[in-house]
Amino acid sequence: VSVTCISPGPTDTDFVNRAKVGAKGIKAAERFNMSPRVVAHISVESMFRRRPEVITGGMNKLSAFFAWLMPKSLVENVAKKLYD
């Protein structure tokens, strides 16, 4: 048995509309969202390679790295401003 944890980041789904985010969030989604097909492909490939953890996409990896470096309160503040 193996387990792979996928952290897909922004994916082109109906989430932005359902979450009722503001104009900034919609613009960010249009710019940074990955297609569900690409996210699924990376996820399945990673599962077969038995990778324990995967962050899909280069921008998502970079964002996760910087979020790890910064204080949690700053990360939360930036996310709030982005999706308000």
pLDDT digits (tens, 9 = 90+) for 10-41: 899 988 888 888 888 888 888 889 999 999 99
Contact call for residues 81 and 21 (beta carbons, < 8 A): no
Residue of higher predicted confidence among 44 and 60: 44
| Predicted structure pTM score | 0.77
* Sign (positive or negative) of CA dihedral 41, 42, 43, 45: positive
Domain holding 44, by residue range, is 5-83
In this prediction, residue 69 carries a pLDDT of: 95
Q: Residue 19, Cβ neighbours under 10 Å: how many?
A: 10
Contact call for residues 12 and 34 (beta carbons, < 8 A): yes
Count of domains in the chain? 1
Q: Which residues contact 51 (CB under 8 A, 6 or more apart)?
A: 4
The residue type of 76 is E
The stretch 41-65 carries a mean pLDDT of: 94
What is the chain's mean pLDDT, rounded? 90
